[in-house]
Structure 1
């Protein structure tokens, strides 16, 4: 019993030290740096691919999806590519996506977040003939596999990939695995400026999720 109590105290102290390091040091910001991939100034791509970043069961887009949607629409409006595709076929959260990757689980009644983004893009004036929606893919690998098939169908050579800064590394690795000619086009990188304790906690979750995702993708041969 004494040994158990001692182990519990040690575990508590270690947990407290880790939590303090995460909240009050630049550790999360440093861990985010290798995940952020930037490319050349965006221009001359055949396609803009906006990767879904999550939504709620009522169809409201999450903050990541909203950022990516706006960035993708701006690239289209600025003439950086002639076509745009939105990917993401479900709304079930991060653990649902983990279950899909590990166990191949599929949601019974998926709510396609890509359809929500595509509908908003049409309201911003993107013509239907320049816009495509992928309603079936459930993770980053499936997102970009659809993009590859779409590019082959349309005879497009280069894709501009729009996603969050910390997700760009995993997306780039998948694109390379699939043999895509791509331009990284992440939304603006705010990771160096997330310095409050709460921001660093949230950033730690994002960063750990991405490192876990990359490890799983290596295990399954996606990268």
Structure 2
């Protein structure tokens, strides 16, 4: 069964299916050296872009920049959004948080139970097809027993820079001075820099890890998978964001 899973995962689904198609095309057009070489080059690049051996270390290099503190204290918890559906059925509200957003919210909830301090959830409606994240998060927190006066929904943010600027205004207005920042580990460095630009020093509390802390090679790191391709996209987006954070 493991061999069967390997075969259909690698060869029947993208990106492995596309790699195989490019290799077949290169063999079919082998007499046209230019076309064959272009197809082989495309297959090679697509393969490298979709294996854990490449994407894993890139994501790990981002996640390793911050670690959750052994002793955590603060007067407010800031949770950054990461996407939501618009009208999917949910208890008490329409819309669900995406996986990363839900992981961030769960960690924020755990910290709230530990410290008893308010939660600011920062996230608006980025796309017309998505939900207003902070409102969905507020409904979820209320259903889990968090008092309404302990929840602050920041609904205007469309990106990490907005998260920092709009949340900084809330902190100043309400007198919070020791915020704990919760976001995905791969996103934490960029978020910390944006908050620093907004004049806010935060205590980073990363969550939603995509890679193990002690990363070890496994043969599946050589399989082309959509998960690895997605991780590469995450890593490249963050490195581009880090390069742009000084002027945006």
TM-score category (smaller protein): 0.7 to 0.9
Q: Tell me whether 1:119 sits opposite 2:154 in the alignment.
A: no
TM-score (norm 2): 0.72
d(CA) in 2 for partners of 1:116 and 1:64? 14
Change (3 A) 1:9 1:179: farther
CA contact (8 A) 1:83 1:130 kept: yes
Partner of 1:102: none
Moved more, 202-211 or 24-33: 24-33
After TM superposition, give the deviation of residue 7 of structure 1 in Å. 5.5
What is the DSSP-based 3-state SS (H/G/I as helix, E as strand, rest coil) of the residue aligned with 2:245?
A: helix
What is the DSSP-based 3-state SS (H/G/I as helix, E as strand, rest coil) of the residue aligned with 1:185?
A: strand
Change (3 A) 1:25 1:137: closer
d(CA) in 2 for partners of 1:157 and 1:8? 61
After TM superposition, give the deviation of residue 30 of structure 1 in Å. 1.2
After TM superposition, give the deviation of residue 41 of structure 1 in Å. 2.6
Count matched residues. 200
What is the DSSP-based 3-state SS (H/G/I as helix, E as strand, rest coil) of the residue aligned with 1:53?
A: coil
Unpaired segments ≥5 residues, structure 1: 93-106
After TM superposition, give the deviation of residue 55 of structure 1 in Å. 0.8
Partner of 2:114: 78
Structure showing greater radius of gyration is 2
Off by >6 Å, runs of 4+ in structure 1: none
Q: Deviations over 1:50-83 (max 9, x none)?
A: 111101121222111111111111110111x511
Q: Tell me whether 1:26 sits opposite 2:26 in the alignment.
A: no
Selected match of 2:198 from 158, 172, 178: 178
Change (3 A) 1:130 1:25: closer
Partner of 1:38: 67
Partner of 1:55: 84
Moved more, 55-64 or 208-217: 208-217
After TM superposition, give the deviation of residue 137 of structure 1 in Å. 0.9
Change (3 A) 1:74 1:197: farther
CA contact (8 A) 1:51 1:163 kept: yes
Q: Deviations over 1:138-166 (max 9, x none)?
A: 11111111211111111111211111121
CA contact (8 A) 2:50 2:228 kept: yes
CA contact (8 A) 1:165 1:188 kept: yes
Q: Deviations over 1:96-133 (max 9, x none)?
A: xxxxxxxxxxx6x9731111011101111111111100
What is the DSSP-based 3-state SS (H/G/I as helix, E as strand, rest coil) of the residue aligned with 1:111?
A: coil
d(CA) in 1 for partners of 2:208 and 2:35? 42
TM-score (norm 1): 0.80
Q: Tell me whether 1:156 sits opposite 2:176 in the alignment.
A: yes
Change (3 A) 1:39 1:74: closer
d(CA) in 1 for partners of 2:34 and 2:196? 45
Aligned-residue CA RMSD (Å): 2.4
What is the DSSP-based 3-state SS (H/G/I as helix, E as strand, rest coil) of the residue aligned with 1:126?
A: coil
Partner of 1:99: none
CA contact (8 A) 2:121 2:137 kept: yes
